[in-house]
């Protein structure tokens, strides 16, 4: 990342804890949970009946109402978060060179709601009644495509799909586009809307979701000994990445600087992490190397921390591998304890958390950490936010298929 420096100048989020950035941030610091009984469909027959839904979202607030009928919810979330990020950064694409503004927004699953709806139509009414918009509605790249059309960005335009590592990969690859001088600005992040019957049926069949249905707000408990699976969330996170010289020229506010990016594969299993988090450790080490930093330079890790037995243990082991004795001195928290797991959107929302932690000198907690696990024995910032001098943050995202991504952001001096 040394050729051109890349900074974050805008952030937009749509989350179960709020869709205004400062509301979301204050709810995180207060240790609030966005998990509740699912309202999107009847959960009677499902083992898991809880999730982190985005509340009070109206797609027509961000796009022409006619287009809302031609787009899946995951695309609508991407548009909402992107428009918030663009406004936060104070960018008007039309007043600059649109060829130098790109979009890279990914999704782990894409248009699950559309697939479910249209399969039902096919079975009930036959192939002639399937929507001609079905394919454009469900394909993952349409989030980037629609955002580019609505804001007029004509630079690099693509999507990343790497399960729960998607958004972190999107930010890392967008930063590379700026480093290589293919763009001055990238609108980058992830989006997900998989709180559907099919989404829940699939994850329930894998026994991946928490069944602590009677206590929704206490169900997501990363690193706690009594964790029993992750809780599904939904939403979107988009960051405006910008070349430093471009940001300075227009006197933009700067949240943080993108310092390092790690990207590795486990080559091990479809859904389980490599033993002892070997792939995740290599990803963190690569990000440190690219950033030119030592392990002791990291002040805070926003962990992948999904609240699964194997995943949390392996990530803890990976952190110990990379940071050695310093691992016990590190602040490590999982904000998924409050938002649930936003799948392909998680990495961008959590990178935003890192940027805000740097801005305000506050580390959000891991809530519901009540029962220490001997195999998860780091400082997880239990249950209460912590004031700290946060200069450098690391964000981990680990996805099904053995995809590992790490992003390091630091205070811009």
Query: Does an H or E element contain 144, and which?
Result: helix 142-151
**116, 272 in Cβ contact below 8 A?**
no
Count CB atoms within 10 A of the CB of residue 373: 17
Rounded Cα distance, 274 and 266, in Å: 6
Residue the block writes with tokens 């809880």: 50
Helices (H) and strands (E) in the chain, counts: 13, 14
Which of 248, 370, 380 shows the shortest CA–CA distance to 312? Answer: 380
Q: Which two tokens stand for residue 273?
A: 């992490």
Q: How far does Cα 117 stand from its chain's mean position?
A: 26
Nearest to 275 by CA among 231, 308, 318: 318
Rounded Cα distance, 201 and 41, in Å: 12
Whether 304 is catalytic: yes
3-state secondary structure of 375: coil
Among candidate residues 169, 246, 290, 341, the one labeled active-site is: 341
- Token look-up 């298929």 returns 401
CA angle, corner 293, sides to 291 and 297, nearest 5? 130
Quote the tokens at residue 150.
Answer: 């609505």
Pick the catalytic residue: 164, 204, 354, 376? 164
Burial of 192 (0-12, 13-18, 19+ CB in 10 A): buried
Cα 254-258-263 angle, rounded to 5 deg: 155
Q: Which of 246, 290, 304, 403 is catalytic?
A: 304
**C-alpha closest to that of 402 among 270, 239, 252:** 270
**DSSP-derived 3-state class of residue 330:** coil
Secondary structure element (H or E) that encloses residue 191, with its range: strand 185-192
Q: How many CA atoms lie within 13 A of 104 on its CB side?
A: 28
412 catalytically annotated: no
Residues 192, 233: Cα–Cα separation, whole Å: 8
Specify whether 341 is catalytic: yes
Mind telling me the catalytic residues? Answer: 164, 304, 341
């Amino acid at each position: 990342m040394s050729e051109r420096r890349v900074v974050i100048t805008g952030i937009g989020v749509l989350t179960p804890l709020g869709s205004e950035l400062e509301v979301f941030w204050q709810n995180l610091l207060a240790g609030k949970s966005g998990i509740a009984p699912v309202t999107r469909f009847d959960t009677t027959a499902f083992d898991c009946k809880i999730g982190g839904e985005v509340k009070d979202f109206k797609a027509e607030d961000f796009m022409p109402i006619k287009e809302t009928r031609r787009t899946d919810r995951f695309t609508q979330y991407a548009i909402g978060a992107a428009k918030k990020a663009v406004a936060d950064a104070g960018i008007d694409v039309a007043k600059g060179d649109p060829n130098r503004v790109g979009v890279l927004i990914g999704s782990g699953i894409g248009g699950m709601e559309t697939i479910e709806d249209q399969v039902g139509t096919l079975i009930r009414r036959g192939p002639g009644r399937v929507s001609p918009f079905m394919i454009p509605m469900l394909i993952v790249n349409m989030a980037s495509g629609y955002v580019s059309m609505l804001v007029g960005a004509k630079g690099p335009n693509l999507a990343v799909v790497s399960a729960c590592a998607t958004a972190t990969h999107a930010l890392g690859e967008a930063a590379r586009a700026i480093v290589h001088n293919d763009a001055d600005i990238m609108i980058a992040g992830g989006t997900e809307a998989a709180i559907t019957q099919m989404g829940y049926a699939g994850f329930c069949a894998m026994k991946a979701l928490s069944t602590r249905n009677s206590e929704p707000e206490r169900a997501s408990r990363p690193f706690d000994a009594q964790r029993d699976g992750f809780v599904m969330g939904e939403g979107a996170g988009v960051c405006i990445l910008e070349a430093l010289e471009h940001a300075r020229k227009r006197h933009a506010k700067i949240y943080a600087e993108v310092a390092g990016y790690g990207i590795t594969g486990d080559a091990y299993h479809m859904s389980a992490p490599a033993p002892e988090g070997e792939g995740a450790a290599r990803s963190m080490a690569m990000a440190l190397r690219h950033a030119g930093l030592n392990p002791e330079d990291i002040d805070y890790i926003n962990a992948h921390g999904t609240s699964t037995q194997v995943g949390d243990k392996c990530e803890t082991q990976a952190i110990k591998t990379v940071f050695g004795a310093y691992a016990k001195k590190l602040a490590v928290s999982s904000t998924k304890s409050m938002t649930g797991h936003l799948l392909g959107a998680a990495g961008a929302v959590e990178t935003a958390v890192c940027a805000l932690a740097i801005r305000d000198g506050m580390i959000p907690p891991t809530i519901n950490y009540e029962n220490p696990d001997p195999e998860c024995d780091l400082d997880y910032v239990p249950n209460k936010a912590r004031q700290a001098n946060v200069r450098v943050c690391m964000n981990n995202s680990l996805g099904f298929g053995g995809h590992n991504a790490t992003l390091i952001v630091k205070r811009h001096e």
